[in-house]
Amino acid sequence: QKRKAREDYKFVWQAKPGDPRNVGDEHYRIEVDLAGEQVVGLSRFFKLPEEWERQRTATQLPNVILTGLEWLFGAGLVGGAILLFVIQARSRKIPWRASAKVGGFLAVLMALVELNRLSVVDIRYTTSIPLSTYRVFVALSFLIVPLVVGLLCWILVGLATSLYPNAWGIFDATARRGWRRDAAVALVVGVAAAAGINRLEAVVSSHFHAYAPVRIDLVPSAFDTTWPGPGFFVHGLFNAVVFAAGAAVLIYLARLSLVRRAWWLWLGGLLLLVSLGPAGAHSVAEFLVGWAMGLVSLVAVVGIVYAFFRDNVLAYLAAALCLEVAEPVVALLSQPPAFFRWNGTALVALTAVVLGWLLLPTRQSQTSS
């Protein structure tokens, strides 16, 4: 496949009918990517029957209804968060200055994530526009995206800390000392539960493989970045802070609904239960298998949060960071090239530094104790 006005090519070979590498109607293929005269990509895969692909990608009325219910549930959560924000803003309880610093920090993290993928932005270039124009668009996106994300995170962190003012104790060594032991226990329980749920999903997917296909990502796209290890760390740290703030808002909404016994609690619970199943399911069995795995995950998360995490800010941050970097660490350290293994080591070291700051005693806390 030769692309107009470009020097990169793609060659695809397909095994002939009767080739032992074919499996039924699935044809074995090899794809080679060239950049000028250099081979830059090689992949082997099976070409699935087009009729099967059309059936899997078809959107039917039940899929539309399930997707609509998911959007309705999400819109309800967003609406509740906006209502809380308006109430807190009118009451002047939002710490704008303090949360602006966290929002700025998250904006810097997002900028680093964008810069880390600078080496692969030209892959998305289309020849319908001049290369210089495309690079101007890329530069603008690198500037605008962190600013917009930082603004949204500023609002989210401000709302979360207005609902739970003691969250600012994360920057106080004395406050961290009081959270440390419970946070360590919650971290171990949370990581063990996540590993157990992943193992259970693998067993269920293997047993019901016709209804729950195994999702495999052989080469994560983040491996193409300049520094995969630090990139995973920065992205994981960003997600950990956003997750902790978002969890605070959701928990507050749930507790408020339970205390007031509001009518929307039952409607929201029903929508949540329906949304646990895959909206793209094409059979009742496929929906029920996905729904059962979603229900197990929900029950485990709610139980662990209620029993171990509670209002421990340290636990949410530490657990979210560990869960974000666990899979990339395994993927990087298991790669043959030394470059990826060194990046995996760097990811472990950076994560250990943050966890040490969160969980280990400092000189200030030891002196105060």
Structure confidence by residue, pLDDT tens digits, 266-288: 888 899 998 888 888 888 888 88
Residues in the chain: 369
pLDDT tens for each residue of 215-267: 555 556 667 778 888 999 999 999 999 999 999 999 999 888 888 877 788 88
The angle formed by the CA atoms of residues 49, 51 and 55, to the nearest 5 degrees, is: 120
Across the beta sheet with 8-14, what order do the strands follow?
Answer: 8-14, 27-35, 38-47
Q: What pLDDT, on the 0 to 100 scale, is given for residue 368?
A: 47
Structural tokens at position 23: 């499996």
Contact indicator for 119, 81 with CB cutoff of 8 Å: no
Mean pLDDT by 10 residues, the chain (369 residues): 60 87 85 77 80 78 89 91 92 92 94 85 75 85 91 94 91 86 91 90 80 58 80 93 93 87 83 88 85 91 90 91 91 87 92 90 54
pLDDT tens for each residue of 132-164: 888 888 888 888 999 999 999 999 999 999 999
Give the integer Cα–Cα distance in Å for 249 and 80: 9
Kindly give the pairing relationship between strand 27-35 and strand 38-47. antiparallel
Give the integer Cα–Cα distance in Å for 106 and 237: 9
Q: What pLDDT, on the 0 to 100 scale, is given for residue 369?
A: 44
C-alpha distances in angstroms, 214 versus 201, 209, 314?
9, 7, 34
Q: What pLDDT, on the 0 to 100 scale, is given for residue 364?
A: 52
Give the integer Cα–Cα distance in Å for 82 and 99: 17
Q: What pLDDT, on the 0 to 100 scale, is given for residue 32?
A: 85
- pTM to 2 decimals? 0.81
